[in-house]
Structure 1
């Protein structure tokens, strides 16, 4: 739409099904690159993709006309297809249902970038579930703990 000006910064977070630690250091950079490209192809603009063995953080620009759920559906389905087609895990790879989504202003861009960049260091102190709960509380998101990402079996 003409004369629409925006600066939307989005961070999404999603986990491996049952939070299994399946994302290997040998191929995680390629996975991050694929996810970034999928976001770009879906009319987003990837800033940084990072994570740990059990979850991913995506930090990107978003146009107001783009549906975040549509982007995440494409990202999750196409990235899991790549993992499975490449036979990178001992069994069929799946992402956990759902995702977290948090919005930021331009003044927070560098802080969020550093947060996503330093995921491995951050998770020496906090589990994925603890981190996710902290973000939900920080952003005052109503949630039911029964539906928060399940623990590994």
Structure 2
């Protein structure tokens, strides 16, 4: 259909197995950059990423 627009936002939460505090502050930013690269390489737009030592929250937009 002409002139239509679709916008889908997805929130994903990934947790470490058994909720162990395994995400170390020293490499937390590297992990976030890696996840960002995966999302962008698949043609989507990262809106927010953050987390705690035992889980990560990701908000991204699906590009259609």
- How many aligned positions are there? 64
Q: Is the 8 A contact 1:37 1:46 kept in 2?
A: no
Q: TM-score, normalised by structure 1?
A: 0.38
Q: Report the structure number with the largest CA radius of gyration.
A: 1
1:45 corresponding residue in structure 2: 45
Counterpart mapping for 1:4-153 below 5 A: 4-64=4-64
8 Å contact from structure 1 (residues 51, 57) kept in 2: yes
Higher strand share: 2
Question: Where do 4+ consecutive residues of structure 1 move more than 3 Å?
Answer: none
The CA deviation string for residues 52-108 of structure 1, in whole angstroms up to 9 with x for no partner, is 1001111111135xxxxxxxxxxxxxxxxxxxxxxxxxxxxxxxxxxxxxxxxxxxx
The normalised TM-score by structure 2 is 0.84
Structure 1: runs of 5+ lacking an equivalent: 65-153
Structure 2: stretches of 5+ with no match in the other structure: none
CA RMSD in angstroms, aligned pairs only: 1.8
